[in-house]
Structure 1
């Protein structure tokens, strides 16, 4: 059975799409818009009662939350490269994924909402700026780590890189001079062939 990924590529659904591309998995993308009536309809609420995207149906296993989905796909197909390893490596994959979800994504979301997602009259430039300022500390942590390692777990790209890079992808205002190593790491991640294929879907649908 084909993996079904619900959500337009221009949403957090890009994360499981990127993971599926990295793993070479056949999948069907059902492009539900996050702001459409379709995600509030009973048929979709039976899949994801939160009424958000993404969600997946993986041969009958239904999961929502984008980072949980990428972790599931990587671990299920561990021999394909995104999840290789020891218990120590597994722990670091979880560490970086939860770090991105708790330390970074709330701030990138705040910045994005108040720079381009909300209607102009609802945007608060002060909130956008405060999010950028607050991001300085966690991004400095990531930059210092990237100065010592080409990827988050060392020499090899894993789902940890995919998750953190995708959380940071919509933050266009990274200070290149302040976070040089972070920027180089991020470019290595998002210029991978699988990432380029995934983000091309996002551009095509825009």
Structure 2
């Protein structure tokens, strides 16, 4: 059965598309737009959106992305990328129990420690280029950036196993939301070089090109 991904690329579905590109897996893409982007998401002619009854039957949380795989339905973008890594294997996933633990550690760290401070930055930029209103979020990220800078120095540039893995993908997609705060990256050159290397990968570039031309 074909993998079916619900969402749009201007959402956390971007992480899943990048992951599928890395794995070379084809998938059916069902565009589901965020309800807040529509004037009236309940209108009869409204685009398929996160408030649509048909989508709520798939994901009662009303959030994107969701993934269907042979009867299994998964939500939460970071959980989906970890599932795909384990399902399809290869160098992007854990090669040992220790690596599996490290991948889980960095993914949970991205979600619990970083994302709540990164998201306000990217959301604010939709309204204004002045980052001063999100200064508390920027300052809150300095400690985590210090931790990551030291970890990359010790590990040789990648988070796990000396190679690019799903841990790098997950964390890079979270920290992408903070990239407009250039001072964080300028003050942490290893983090800056690492995220540039992640985003230079052909699988990311293909996802980003599709995102930039997305019409929904």
What is the TM-score with the length of structure 1 in the denominator?
0.91
Aligned to 1:204: 213
Q: In structure 1, how many angstroms separate the alpha carbons of the residues matched to 2:186 and 2:123?
A: 25
The whole-number CA distance in structure 2 between the counterparts of 1:55 and 1:24 is 19
Unpaired stretches in structure 2, ≥5 consecutive residues:
42-48
Note the 1:5-20 alignment, pairs <5 A.
5-20=5-20
Partner of 2:107: 97
Correspondence list, 1:120-139, <5 A: 127-139=133-145
How far 1:28 moved relative to its partner?
1.5
Aligned position for 2:44: none
Alignment-derived partner of residue 71 in structure 1: 82
Tell me the distance in 2 between the aligned counterparts of 1:124 and 1:198: 28
Mean Cα deviation higher: 39-48 or 96-105: 39-48
Pairing 1:164–2:175 present:
no
Shift in Å, 1:59: 1.8
SS in structure 1 opposite 2:63? coil
Q: CA deviation at 1:113?
A: 2.3
Q: Describe how 1:150-161 pairs up with structure 2 within 5 A.
A: 150-161=157-168
- Return the offset for 1:51: 0.5
Partner deviation per Cα, 1:21-56 (whole Å, 9 max, x = no partner): 000111112121123532112211111101010001
Matched, 1:145 2:145: no
Segment drifting more, 50-59 vs 81-90: 81-90
Q: What is the aligned-residue RMSD (CA, Å)?
A: 1.8
Corresponding residue for residue 46 of structure 1: 57
Find the counterpart in structure 1 of residue 201 from structure 2.
192
Query: Measured at CA, do residues 125 and 161 of structure 1 come closer, stay the same or move farther in structure 2, by a change above 3 Å?
Result: closer
Number of residue equivalences: 201
